[in-house]
Structure 1
């Protein structure tokens, strides 16, 4: 059959050999195939719509039972990194459905893989389980010692995983060295932040090898006491995103030095983004700060709005000149531009969406959280303010999206 529209993917999923289930990012069963239900001894209504570890908790009568805890750690790794995680063979105690309180030893080897949405976020988890209980029992009966058989199987699997992890570690180390050198070369020199009271921070996503697809830029403009401050966001993480980031940042830096304003600079960058592989859906916002006239002119290409914190604590969202992402239009049209004023001691803050967005939460909630943190920390110097905002807004275990932050004391 060549027509994909005629394929019944639900039927294909149910017919898959072996135990396969789909989980939401909240670890709730979205679906399970027939083999999963049959081999786990569960009915569909026992599983679908329920939290995984309510369906399969650890055995409360055995303090050494850790299979479900290991499974939860694996699933959380997949959610954090967006990468597949293969688990070693382990014992799982499973409560018999028809006999509550009676637990049966099962030997499973799960593989957990992400299903990514258009924005690169994990939208589903594929949870596949290799059922080897009968194999373990058969070998134990043949040898007369189940523990020795299991130990040998575990040792073999552990050696395989150890060799694989070592190869991955070596590859990641090489990629990390290249990525850090590349990123350090691409980001602006520190002298720009020393001439003004500016703090900059960037934090890569968990599992991104310290290589970030988000970027910031600080440039001296050609006339008057003016600087350009920009941030941008490239879809994805790691070395490829960093390469795209470098091309866009360099192009915007050059355009800003000769443009009449931020809108024109983004017009030039938008045309350039059309010919850069990997720049799809990239966003950016740029501001031209005039210290003599105390004005900020700004323009945004699909990016969250900068925030201007006035001395009296009022927070102004610079959202008067918003437009689609850089390459959204096949024939770019002039972008909008807006201007606002500031008084001495105010603070301008630019950032990327990793600072404010949380899974399952409206973006306005994140913006309000950022505004509140800036209002409370407004008296701090830029370096302390930047650290305080990151400490309050980013999860302690690390964010799943890259984050860049620029704080300018005006």
Structure 2
């Protein structure tokens, strides 16, 4: 049985819910018939126009701008890719454009993103629900007449007075409720702005602390940093790739526990310290022992994970040590992928005293590829970490012959879901080749 061909535009317009689709510039591209009926406008006065032009604020009004709040909500959706539910809004409407006659209206508004295949916001879906009748209280005139007709005289007046008092009390309660909703909306906007500023500062700090690799010799290498999708989930992941001298390189990747500006600050301190140790050609195990001692004096650094790898190009050998970090992977030319997990120690702040940190060594051949990463690449909620590691190994084996830049992009595409992850991802890809003397 063949499926019927669906006219999605017709289906959308026939939806019984007031819905509108807008571009990222907040321009209407389509609306349902129910939306037009609610707005009291013909389609040609809506589609193709900017939202704040099609439905402007009432001129010379002293009330808070409904247009400005709606626009902020939509811009939050575009920036975060997350749905935004607004508090009940008073948004006066001019049913006949240019008439100068405005109607007091109240709406419950939800704005949601429509994502493209790449996970980016392509359109914005605006849903309206009118709640004017719930907010405004009808006058008691009709009930007064009923009371007079039924009882007459003073008793009717008494009941009519009681009706007015109840109506006025209900109106005051609803007015208070609307005022509290308005106050809550202001508070939420201030919190979002504060969180946005914190995220911006943390992101800038991370970008400043994650420069391009410092390489003396030309190498096939790539680094990536992918922030978490959640608005406030800025984390403390970092990487460092440098040539210590013409025959030795250092790769360090780490992950600070926690989120936000504090985690980014801790990340900056630990990365700088480990980078300095690498430049002094400190062996990986010794470097982790030293940074472990340092971490105990840095608030928020406890339980940070890190892996330090020294590449000896002349000896074709990797020397590595891990402080609780996920194991690096070494893709061989024959298609096998080796997990470097023979030198795993506890996280920073928990390492054994007295320099007991273990260190591993493994030989490499020209063309092998080293991949070092943080848990955002492989860890998923309600899933065993081994499944994520297996996915990474399969992807690495499939794309191992690609140049490092292409390989890094392929790994991110294969491992990260389109909607993003709850944790940051740092990634270093380094193709290994033998250096001759001199």
How would you bin the TM-score normalised by the shorter chain?
A: 0.5 to 0.7
What is aligned with 1:307? 329
What is aligned with 1:180? 203
Q: Where do 5+ consecutive residues of structure 2 fail to align?
A: 1-14, 20-79, 90-107, 109-133, 143-166, 433-438
Instruction: For 1:7-406, list aligned pairs within 5 A.
Output: 64=17, 88=87, 156=179, 159-192=182-215, 195-208=218-231, 211-222=234-245, 224-329=246-351, 331=353, 333-406=355-428
Asked whether the equivalents of residues 88 and 178 of structure 2 are also in contact (C-alpha less than 8 Å), the reply is: no
Tell me the CA shift for residue 87 of structure 1: 7.2
Label 1:158 to 1:387 Cα distance change in 2 as closer, same or farther (>3 A). Answer: farther
Aligned equivalents of 1:406 and 1:320: distance in 2? 20
Aligned equivalents of 1:186 and 1:282: distance in 2? 17
Which structure is larger by alpha-carbon Rg, 1 or 2?
2
TM-superposition CA deviations, 1:26-66 (whole Å, max 9, x none): xxxxxxxxxxxxxxxxxxxxxxxxxxxxxxxxxxxx95499
Aligned equivalents of 1:160 and 1:332: distance in 2? 58
Aligned equivalents of 1:307 and 1:384: distance in 2? 17
Aligned equivalents of 1:319 and 1:169: distance in 2? 42
Asked whether the equivalents of residues 218 and 228 of structure 1 are also in contact (C-alpha less than 8 Å), the reply is: yes
Aligned equivalents of 2:217 and 2:187: distance in 1? 46
Tell me the CA shift for residue 361 of structure 1: 1.1
Aligned equivalents of 2:140 and 2:87: distance in 1? 23
Label 1:312 to 1:87 Cα distance change in 2 as closer, same or farther (>3 A). Answer: same
Aligned equivalents of 1:233 and 1:318: distance in 2? 18
Aligned equivalents of 1:183 and 1:199: distance in 2? 17
Tell me the CA shift for residue 299 of structure 1: 0.5
Tell me the CA shift for residue 167 of structure 1: 1.9
Label 1:160 to 1:321 Cα distance change in 2 as closer, same or farther (>3 A). Answer: same
Asked whether the equivalents of residues 199 and 408 of structure 1 are also in contact (C-alpha less than 8 Å), the reply is: yes
Count of aligned residue pairs for this structure pair? 289
| Secondary structure, counterpart of 1:227 in structure 2 | strand
TM-superposition CA deviations, 1:108-154 (whole Å, max 9, x none): 9xxxxxxxxxxxxxxxxxxxxxxxxxxx699679799x9x9899788
| Secondary structure, counterpart of 1:240 in structure 2 | helix
Asked whether the equivalents of residues 301 and 325 of structure 1 are also in contact (C-alpha less than 8 Å), the reply is: yes
Q: Where do 5+ consecutive residues of structure 1 fail to align?
A: 1-61, 67-80, 91-107, 109-135
In the superposition, the TM-score normalised over structure 2's length comes to: 0.58
Asked whether the equivalents of residues 193 and 199 of structure 1 are also in contact (C-alpha less than 8 Å), the reply is: no
What is aligned with 2:98? none
TM-superposition CA deviations, 1:161-215 (whole Å, max 9, x none): 5423432343234324432332232223444398421111111222355844100
Aligned equivalents of 1:178 and 1:242: distance in 2? 9
Tell me the CA shift for residue 274 of structure 1: 0.7
Asked whether the equivalents of residues 254 and 306 of structure 2 are also in contact (C-alpha less than 8 Å), the reply is: yes
Aligned equivalents of 2:141 and 2:395: distance in 1? 65
Tell me the CA shift for residue 270 of structure 1: 0.7
In the superposition, the TM-score normalised over structure 1's length comes to: 0.62
